[in-house]
Structures are given as C-alpha cells and as structure tokens.
Amino acid sequence: MDHGQPSVEPVAAAASAPDRSVMAPLRAVVRLRRRVRLLRKRHLLTPGTGLDSGRLASRRDPEQPQIFTFDSPAELSSRAPRKRRRRSRVVLYPETSRKCRPRAERRSRAQHCLLLLVAIVGFQVLNAIENLDDNEQRYDLDGLEKALQRAVFGQPAAMGRIVALLRDYLSTHVHSRPLLLALHGPSGVGKSHVGRLLARHFRAVLEDSELVLQYHMRHHCPEPRAAQGCREELARRVAAVVAQAEAEEKTPLLVLDEVELMPQALLDELHGLLQPQRSHHFHNAVYVLLSSVGGAEITRFVLQNASRSLPPRPSGAPDGAHAEEELSAGLRALLAREHPLWQAAAVVPFLLLEKRDVVGCFRDEMAAEGFFPEQARAELLAEQLSYYRVAGREFAVTGCKQVVARVNLL
C-alpha cells in the first residue's frame, strides 16, 4: 500500500542541508562581533587598535601604509608602557642630632705644619737649583771646554777632567776649602798653554783682571832673591786677590807656573793658604799648579802602555779611564812624598804627544804667524823633531816646545 506514494522525510532532509551551510558562517560572524563588543566593554583593547579605528585611520590618511600583525589583543595590551617609579628620597636626619666622625678620620693638627714644612723645603730646593745654574753660567764653562778642546792638542782626557772639576766646584759660591788643580807632565805637552787659556777665560768672564793672578817662579822670584821675601810677597798678593773677590762675590783664579822650582818656604806658604783654619774668603778660590814633577814617570807609563792602546781608543774608553786613574794615583803618592801640599790636590796628568798632535801644533802656529797652514809643510817640519818609537807609534820627546822656534825660522 505504501509503495505507490513518495516519502516526505527524504525531501525534508534534503531541504535542511542548504540551510545549515548558510547559517554556520552567519553564526560565526555573530559570535565574532559579540566577542569584539565584549572585549571593548572590558577595555582590553587600547584606543585606535580596533577594526573600526583602523578603518578610520585608513580613511583619514589613505597614503599611510597599513600594518597587520598576528599578535592577539592580549599580547598588545601587555606591551603597554609601564609607569616610572619615583625614586625614594634621601632620608634626612633631624638637625638636633649630633654629627660625629669616626676617630680614624680625624686629622691631626700637626698635618698642617707638616704640609707647610714640605712646601718650604721644596721652595728652597728649587731656589738652590736655580742659583746653581746661574752661578755656573756666570763662568761660561761650556765655552771654556770648547776653547780648551780646540786649542790644546793630544790631551782630551785631561781637558775633560779639568772642566769637570771646575764645573763641580763653581756650581756654588760658598765652599769649605779651595780647589787645587795640579797639572803635571813632561816638557812641551801643553801645561803652560792651558794655564794661559784659563787665565784669559777667567779675565773675560769675571770682567776684572785683578781677580786673576799669574805667578811665574823665574820671573817673580828669581834665584838670587831670598825665599822669605818671595813668601811674604806671595802671601800679600794672594790675600789681596781673595779679599777683592769676596767683596764682589766671585771666585778668583791663581795660576802658579814652574812649581818644581819653588823653594820649601813657598810650598809651605801655599799649603798654609789651603788649610780650613784660614779665614772663609781664602776658601773660595781656584789654584792651578803647573809642574814637570813626575814627568819621567808619565813618560815611562805611556811608553810601557803604548802597545795596549792599539788601535787608539777614545778618551772615555773603560781601559783608558782605568789606566789614567792608576797613573793619577801613582803620581799623587809620588808627589805626597815630596811635600804634603799635593795630598789635597786633584792631580791631572798630561801624556806624551804623538806625531799627529805635533803636526797640529805646527799648523796652528803657522796660521797664527800669517803662513798658510799647509799639511805637507807641517809634516815636513814635524819630521825634524825627535820621537820615541814604540809599537809602531811615535811620541815626541819635547812635545810642541820647539814648534814656535821652528816656525819663526820660516
């Protein structure tokens, strides 16, 4: 009976299928809109981050690019800037409280006195250094060194020692004892020449010729004259020079040549002038003694050590300095046996001159006399002198003593 009529249920099922496919998206849109409204009500979305605001912003400024991120509104809200915390104020104690420092931080009152003392000592040291430089510049020792190195041949070590001793002594004006330089060596090595150069330099820098005394034994105290009279005259002249130098606050120079000819009385007088018991103005003076005593010992020493210095070494070489110290000590011991005057002396030995040094003496003298200083002619004149020939080296027997006489014969 039912086979002839169509069934209604399949038709209803077929009609409900399209209704479900349409309603599902609508329901999703409705749920999404409700969710957005709910979030707006809870103020979870910041102003300007919603969909409407984005649309408004795009309408207001169409050229501005739109940025889309996949961050959820909750993550965007968590990135909101935090408020800065105010720093807590410093706790202030009431003014009525007593402020005390630990005992370890308390300064002693003596620290101020100590700082003042350090400042005074530092000022005095700086002032003393400036005075040393000023006193040394007065005597122009740099110019003296250049003049000695240029005018004296074959004695670089002796010239350096003389200038060093003068520089050390003349750095101050007040002294406990005078400076005694003893220049010793054989004849013709330049001792008298150095004495004349020193006298000329000190006359120029001191600007007073009365403060430089040159005493020649053969001229001021010839042999017939009594030694006691020479002693009194020497003492009177030295006293006058040192007294005038003390008044002008300068250091005088006293050059005594040919000391080997001095009698015992004059050596005793010189020794008495150097004693610390004398008046203070006798302590501020420079004595230069020129003597040939010990010349034989110097000659023997140079000839024995001639082979050691091959090839020639500079004056500052260690071996040369040691040999010169040994020679100076031997000379001082020898001179001390002659008279106690040389015990307090700074002995400066003058060595023998080599042939090249004699040639230099000839050229210098030829230029001074108006001749052309030709090298070949100077060597020819030097060949006429006598020499010690040791280990391939030639040392002049008389040094440059005969140079002036030979040049005068030209």
Average pLDDT score, the chain: 79
Is the pLDDT at 127 greater than 80? The verdict is no
Residue 365's pLDDT is 92
Is the pLDDT at 26 greater than 60? The verdict is yes
Task: Specify burial of residue 130 (Cβ count, 10 A radius: 0-12, 13-18, 19+).
Answer: exposed
Between 324 and 200, where is the model more confident? 200
**Number of neighbours of residue 406 by Cβ within 10 angstroms:** 17
Residue 66's pLDDT is 53
Residue 39's pLDDT is 81
* Per-residue confidence band for 98, with pLDDT thresholds at 50, 70 and 90: low
Average pLDDT of 110-138?
Answer: 72
The β-bridge relationship of strands 387-390 and 393-396 is antiparallel
Is the pLDDT at 283 greater than 60? The verdict is yes
Determine phi and psi for 372, rounding to 5 degrees.
-75, 125
- % residues pLDDT > 70 (the chain): 73
Residue 218's pLDDT is 87
Residue 59's pLDDT is 46
Among 22-26, 53-57, 373-377, name the one with the lowest average pLDDT.
53-57
Average pLDDT of 297-308?
Answer: 86
Check if the beta carbon of residue 45 is closer than 8 Å to that of residue 80: no
Q: Which two tokens stand for residue 11?
A: 């038709």
Residue 160's pLDDT is 93
b or e along 66-85 (b: 16 or more beta carbons within 10 Å of the residue's beta carbon)?
eeeeeeeeeeeeeeeeeeee
Between 65 and 221, where is the model more confident? 221
